[in-house]
Structure 1
Amino acid sequence: MAMHAREFFAELDLPFTDRAVVGDTYYATPVPGGLLRLRIDFARTQYDSEYSGLRLALIHQELGTLDTGILRFDDHKTFDHRDARRGRTPGQSGYALVREFRERPDWVPWEGAHINGLRDAIEQYSAVWFPGAWPAPAPSRAVGRTAHQAPSLSTAKTSSRKR
């Protein structure tokens, strides 16, 4: 488990209560008792132990895989800060990728990832296939000026001008 997938998916903080991480893969039943499942795992590149994003799959219990999608780290700016700090730019080896080193189980390959973009994309994907399964955000109070009561019509001055 050199990818530390359990910690990665815990950090994503997906709202599904019926979920499990098995190996490097996240499984969820967003609608309890439903036939649809969500599977999320790391999307491999052409190289062994190298990943360019997350692969989402919609699985029907009886019909199998209905849909898949790839959320690339590059598209969601997951490692922009890490790569900028290391002097990597798009097109360079290792840009927006994570590499797994099995001989270093203490090393967390996705450390420093900014996952908000990935989480937002998973929310959008879930909204299509599992409407209502993602809880609505709590309404936020607007910061700024407080509202003042407008005077009622009876106390407001009126003019009785005739034409």
Structure 2
Amino acid sequence: MKSILRTLLAASLVVALTFALSAHDEEHHGKEYSKDHGKHLEKMAKELGLTPEQKKQIEKVHSDSKQSREGYEKQKDILRKELHSLLSADNLDKSAIRSKMEEIFKLKVDSKMLWIDERIKTSEILTSEQRTKHKEIMKKLHADHGKKDKMKDKPGKRDKKRD
């Protein structure tokens, strides 16, 4: 009985972790990234002083990888459903669950690499000065994001926000 309970608990944690990572990925590099790309490009154009030609080239980089990005998202959705089915089975098959999770994480790595390829291509479009400024902006953005994550993790902060 304890073995079954441990397996169910482990499976529940795996599912929760998988969905949490998926939400983070979508927020930063997946569906939300695609939706907000127009706003991001306008902000980038203004802050970096992009020329109309640079803006056009960056839009092309983004649109060229859009189909691959959408393919990754569809495949991740399919794999998540398959994992859920495996975890909902009467008899949990640890080997099959592990294999499915490895497929999901490999796909996530491939998806992140597509995003990195976009960043590299975009960087090649920028001038040296624009690249330097872009690095500074990205450092600040990531530092600010890290601070927000730390604030979320502090127990007292959540309670104060509810008051």
Q: TM-score band (shorter)?
A: under 0.3
User: Computing the radius of gyration over CA atoms, which structure comes out larger, 1 or 2?
Assistant: 1
Q: TM-score, normalised by structure 2?
A: 0.28
TM score, norm. by length of structure 1: 0.28
Higher relative contact order (CA 8 A, sep 6+): 2
